[in-house]
Amino acid sequence: MRIGQGYDIHPLKEGRPLILGGITIPHTHGLDGHSDADALTHAVCDALLGALGEGDLGTRFPSSNPAFKNMDSLVMLASVVETLSEKGYTLVNLDTVILAQAPKLAPYMEAMKDKLAKVLGVKETQVNVKVKSGEGIGMIGRAEGIAVLASCLIEVAQSS
C-alpha cells in the first residue's frame, strides 16, 4: 500500500467558469489557470501521482505547453488513472477538502464525488469530498481563491 497527498490553489477571476470535480458551478467568478483550473481534480491527480512516485501534474501537463490550454482536467485525471493501472495499482480510497468561502458548495458535493468516482473507476463510497470555509481569514476567507487538499491510499491490484 502507498499513500499520496495533493494540493492545488487557484485565484478566482471574473468571466471564467467555476469547475470543481468536473462539475460546473454557477458563480460570478471561476478559477483562473492554464487549463480549466479545476483545483479539486488537480489535487486528486497530484495525490495519485505522489502515491505512485510519478512527480506532479505540472510536470506531466506543463502550463508552458499551449496544447494544454483550457484542457478538461478530467482528461488529465483519466491519464493519471491509466498510469495507476499500468503500474499495477488500484485506488483504495480518496479523501479531499475544498477550502472555499464562496460560493456555497454543499449542493454540489455529491455530484463532484460521483463524477470523480466514475473517472477513477471506483465506487462512490471510496471517494469523499468535504468543504471548509476560510472563516474570513486570508485569501480563502476573503473569497479571492479556492484551495484543495487530497489524500489517497493505493494498493497493488488483485489478480483475477
Q: What is the DSSP letter of 125?
A: G
Give the CA distances from residue 24 to residues 17, 140, 157, in Å, rounded to whole numbers and listed in that order: 7, 20, 33
How many structural domains comprise the chain? 1
Q: Write out the three cell numbers for 158.
A: 488483485
Verify cis geometry, omega within 30 degrees of 0, for the bond prior to 17.
no
CATH code: domain of residue 104: 3.30.1330.50
Read off the pTM.
0.96
Give the CA distances from residue 63 to residues 9, 69, 70, 74, in Å, rounded to whole numbers and listed in that order: 15, 7, 10, 16
Residue type, 127: V
Chain position carrying cell 455529491: 110
When pLDDT is averaged across residues 109-113 and rounded to a whole number, the result is 98
Whether residue 137 has pLDDT greater than 80 = yes
* pLDDT tens, position by position, 11-36: 999 999 999 999 999 999 999 999 99
Q: pLDDT > 70: what percent of the chain?
A: 99
Q: By CB neighbour count within 10 A (0-12 exposed, 13-18 middle, 19+ buried), where does 156 fall?
A: exposed
Kindly give the residue spans of alpha helices, DSSP state H, lying in the chain. 39-52, 57-60, 73-86, 109-120, 138-141
Structural domain that includes position 51? 2-156
- Residues 24, 96: contact at Cβ < 8 Å? no
Going 16 to 74 to 35 to 47, the CA torsion angle's sign is positive
Whether residue 62 has pLDDT greater than 90 = no
**3-state DSSP call for residue 148?**
strand
Q: Write out the three cell numbers for 83.
A: 498510469
